[in-house]
């Protein structure tokens, strides 16, 4: 199996941390977004979206980070992907929420406060920053309330849903995402980020940025 990724990106961290957690035997292939490697004709044949991450397992080409997380955890028969209908649907609920609401809210702040500066040197648009903060706080309130008295999102065990939602917060400091305003989220994030697999995946990201 090959995992194509730019490890510094939150969307890449999602499958990469699961791959480390379950010990997937796969080759990591760096797709350097700074060099536009996601738009080469060779890569577009594998993923017509021109985006990473992408998993290739034989003839099976799988894009979408959450789908890759589920595939890797399921293949390894890991409890990160519960098999009973209700916990599995609950994990799906949070993965869907991450893609529809949580991730897009954080992405506004990541784009305005970080990516624009890095890629074009442009200043953040204050109206967009205000919109991002409002949306983020709206969804963070829901997550913070859910995490009251819980260690993890679903049941009492770590699942791919925790990794997916925590990955969104990877760049919260440089992107000015106000996680610290939400005590339950901050404690849960610190718990997830203390996982050895998380540390390994973050290290991959640091190496990619230095390379």
- What does the binding site for ligand GSH look like in residue numbers (CB under 6 A)? 9, 11, 33, 38, 50-53, 64-65
State in angstroms the smallest separation of the CB of 156 from ligand GSH.
27
State in angstroms the smallest separation of the CB of 49 from ligand GSH.
7
Residue appearing with tokens 């890759």: 68
Given the complex with ligand GSH, which of 53 and 82 has the nearer CB atom? 53
State in angstroms the smallest separation of the CB of 183 from ligand GSH.
28
Given the complex with ligand GSH, which of 32 and 134 has the nearer CB atom? 32
Given the complex with ligand GSH, which of 50 and 155 has the nearer CB atom? 50
Bridge-based pairing of strands 54-57 and 2-5 is: antiparallel
Given the complex with ligand GSH, which of 135 and 171 has the nearer CB atom? 171
State in angstroms the smallest separation of the CB of 167 from ligand GSH.
10
Q: CB-based contacts of 192: which residues, under 8 Å, 6+ apart?
A: 158, 162, 163, 166, 198
State in angstroms the smallest separation of the CB of 125 from ligand GSH.
20
Given the complex with ligand GSH, which of 38 and 78 has the nearer CB atom? 38
Peptide bond just before 53 cis, omega within 30 deg: yes
Segment 179-186 long-range contacts (CB within 8 Å, at least 24 positions apart): 179/140, 181/137, 181/140, 182/140, 182/141, 182/143, 182/144, 183/144, 184/143, 184/144, 184/145, 184/147, 184/148, 185/140, 185/143, 185/144, 185/147
């Amino acid at each position: 199996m090959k995992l194509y990724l730019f490890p510094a990106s939150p969307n890449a961290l999602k499958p990469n941390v699961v791959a480390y957690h379950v010990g997937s035997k796969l080759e990591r292939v760096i797709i350097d977004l700074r060099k536009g490697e996601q738009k080469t004709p060779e890569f577009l044949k594998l993923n017509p979206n021109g985006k990473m991450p992408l998993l290739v397992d034989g003839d099976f080409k799988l894009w979408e980070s959450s789908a890759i997380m589920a595939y890797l955890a399921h293949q390894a028969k890991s409890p990160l992907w519960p098999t009973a209908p209700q916990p599995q649907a609950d994990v799906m609920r949070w993965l869907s929420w991450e893609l529809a609401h949580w991730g897009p809210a954080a992405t506004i702040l990541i784009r305005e406060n970080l990516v624009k500066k890095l890629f074009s040197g442009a200043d953040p648009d204050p109206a967009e920053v205000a919109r991002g903060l409002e949306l983020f706080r709206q969804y963070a309130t829901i997550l913070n309330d859910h995490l009251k008295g819980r260690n993890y999102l679903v049941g009492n065990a770590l699942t791919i849903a925790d990794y997916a939602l925590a990955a969104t917060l990877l760049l919260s400091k440089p992107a000015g995402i106000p996680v610290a305003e939400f005590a339950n989220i901050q404690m849960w994030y610190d718990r997830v980020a203390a996982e050895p697999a998380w540390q390994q995946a973050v290290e991959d990201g640091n190496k990619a940025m230095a390379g």
